[in-house]
Amino acid sequence: MKYGALEAGGTKMIVAIGDENGNILERASFPTLSPKETMPQMIDFFKGKEIASLGIACFGPIDLNKESKTYGYITSTPKLEWRNYDIVGEFQKALGVPVGFDTDVNGSLLGEITWGCARNKTDAIYLTIGTGIGGGVMTNGRLLHGMLHPEMGHIKLALEKDDTYKGKCPYHGTCFEGLAAGPAIEERWGKKAVELADREEVWELESAYIAQALCSYILTLSPQIIILGGGVMHQMQLFPLIRKKVLEQLGGYINTKEIENIDEYIVPASLNDDQGIMGAVKLAIDAL
């Protein structure tokens, strides 16, 4: 059986055909322009492929409440042309198949839980740290939605000593995203993260803010594993720094086998950057 998958991002839309084992059989990518420009390209990709269902892992905010009149909509996104857009409804009309729908980060987490490093876990966090910061959560074996869905990039953080940066987030200034996402790194240091690989001070500060956020998630959500993806996390030198600072900031308060084996607790994404599209395949399987 074949399944359609869409990883809907703010910059590009990745579409794919997958099977029940998570194998990606075919894929394409389209720039995220307006719905009028981008939707026909995606619909044409899926038409005639005999997909049983479609899974959408989508940038947000989105409405995931199936009782809501706007379920399946992209809602208050900064991408104005997609604001209040019924993405699920449009695909259902065009393709006539069931559609699964969740956040892009929950999609990535679902990919890792189904086929990646979080298999056999019931409680896990996936964070993407790149152009923005977002988080997906599974708790007690279920993806967490709540009243909307987690917005883990927007928790407020305490500034590190001597840090006078005002933050990049237009809503919260010095929230996690405002201090540690790619645009904040570039504005603070005058270069993109990839150009700063040999600047030790950059990654000492970055790891301190990531560790501070992770400690909050550890203490509130008690995950069995934390997976870090996104463009900034391609700087692999961050991982030992983050793990060391998490242990320092926890101060010995949490004593579990996971914390004792922290190298296996705070880990990079494991599916060669396909976790999002593979998670969308799983959303399609579950929708059917």
Number of domains in the chain: 2
Same domain membership, residue 205 and residue 76: no
Global pTM value: 0.95
pLDDT tens readout for residues 159-188: 999 999 999 999 999 999 999 999 999 999
Q: Is residue 113 part of a domain?
A: no
Same domain membership, residue 188 and residue 73: no
CA distance 153 to 129: 9
Same domain membership, residue 264 and residue 187: yes
**CB-based contacts of 258: which residues, under 8 Å, 6+ apart?**
224, 225, 264, 265
- The predicted structure's pLDDT at residue 78: 82
pLDDT band, residue 229 (cuts 50/70/90)? very high
- The predicted structure's pLDDT at residue 47: 96
Same domain membership, residue 50 and residue 90: yes
Same domain membership, residue 214 and residue 243: yes
